[in-house]
């Protein structure tokens, strides 16, 4: 049987010549899984479990560029993995913020998409730096494309503020810029009370330590590089978030929200001030 990439995944007669045998096609290639061909009224075999293949590029980004040792598997979601890899899609003309979020092996966990941008906003973003002073709205979506958090950065003149909500509008907290001079510092607030902070570790604000209310580091954001050419010609940013232990809510959601939107919510200010 001739099979190509448009053929859906499933069991087909073994193309390698074994009679009375089926081989599983995963939608892109033949796998090692085989089963007897039960044409005589028997049930078709169930689809085999094929574990996702680790992406060596993402593993290199985590282990070599960010310096994070491999850790055990997490829960497979944005809120249960110990390491999140945040890669903005590189575009020569950056008209919308769009991020892909993966685990430490490169498996997709979700995405971050800027929403509510009209044509004029996109043109303004292209021709000027005024866009950083306007309101931004972003959705953090799970692997199925469903929103799990919504973020709004209201229009600002100097200091930035990000409002974090559940998809149903229930408030989670706020990320509020504390200073404009020196290493940038953001407070993590819930109901007006500070429960943590995000601290840039140098004036360029590439790397951040995230601490709890007692100033203990609970997570870390590390900037990784895709090479000088991409850095010069696009503003695509790649980050790795390492969460040191399972955090309580709402701190966990606010740490994830911070890491997944660090470029729009935090670092664009350093561009404007730099």
In tens, the pLDDT along 68-91 reads 888 777 888 999 999 999 877 654
Burial of 117 (0-12, 13-18, 19+ CB in 10 A): middle
Neighbouring CB atoms inside 10 A of 133's CB total 14
Instruction: Report residue 110 CA to chain centroid gap.
Output: 6
Contact 23, 16 (CB under 8 A): yes
pLDDT digits (tens, 9 = 90+) for 93-151: 444 556 789 999 888 899 988 887 654 544 444 444 444 556 778 899 998 899 999 99
Residue 56 has pLDDT above 90, yes or no: no
Q: Given phi > 0 = left and psi -120 to 50 = alpha, else beta, which region is 170?
A: beta
22-50: average pLDDT: 70
CA 49/CA 222 separation, integer angstroms: 34
Q: Across-strand partners of 200?
A: 208
Distance in angstroms (rounded) separating the CA atoms of residues 230 and 252: 32
Lowest pLDDT segment from 161-170, 211-220, 234-243, 258-267: 258-267
Residue matched to tokens 């919308």: 96
State the alpha helices, DSSP H only, in the chain: 56-60, 119-127, 228-233, 251-260, 268-273
Domains defined for the chain, CATH in brackets = 1-50 (no CATH), 56-273 (2.40.160.200)
């Amino acid at each position: 049987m001739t099979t190509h990439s448009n053929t859906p995944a499933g069991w087909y007669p073994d193309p390698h010549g074994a009679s009375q045998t089926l081989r599983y096609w995963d939608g892109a290639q033949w796998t090692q899984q085989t089963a007897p061909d039960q044409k005589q009224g028997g049930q078709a075999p169930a689809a085999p479990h094929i574990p996702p293949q680790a992406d060596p590029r993402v593993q290199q980004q985590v282990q070599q560029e960010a310096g994070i040792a491999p850790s055990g598997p997490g829960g497979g979601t944005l809120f249960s993995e110990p390491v999140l890899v945040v890669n903005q899609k590189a575009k020569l003309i950056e008209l919308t913020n769009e991020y892909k979020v993966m685990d430490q092996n490169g498996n997709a966990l979700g995405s971050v998409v800027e929403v509510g941008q009209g044509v004029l906003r996109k043109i303004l973003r292209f021709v000027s730096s005024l866009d950083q002073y306007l309101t931004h709205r972003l959705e953090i979506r799970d692997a199925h494309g469903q929103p799990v958090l919504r973020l709004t950065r209201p229009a600002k003149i100097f200091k930035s503020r990000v409002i974090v909500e559940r998809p149903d509008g229930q408030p989670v907290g706020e990320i509020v810029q504390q200073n404009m001079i020196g290493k940038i510092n953001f407070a993590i607030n819930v109901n007006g009370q500070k429960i943590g902070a995000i601290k840039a570790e140098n004036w360029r604000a590439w790397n951040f330590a995230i601490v709890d209310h007692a100033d203990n580091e609970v997570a870390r954001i590390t900037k990784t590089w895709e090479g000088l050419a991409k850095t010069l010609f696009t503003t695509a940013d790649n980050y790795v978030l390492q969460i040191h232990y399972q955090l309580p809510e709402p701190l966990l959601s606010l740490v994830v929200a911070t890491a997944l939107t660090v470029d729009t919510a935090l670092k664009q200010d350093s561009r404007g001030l730099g």
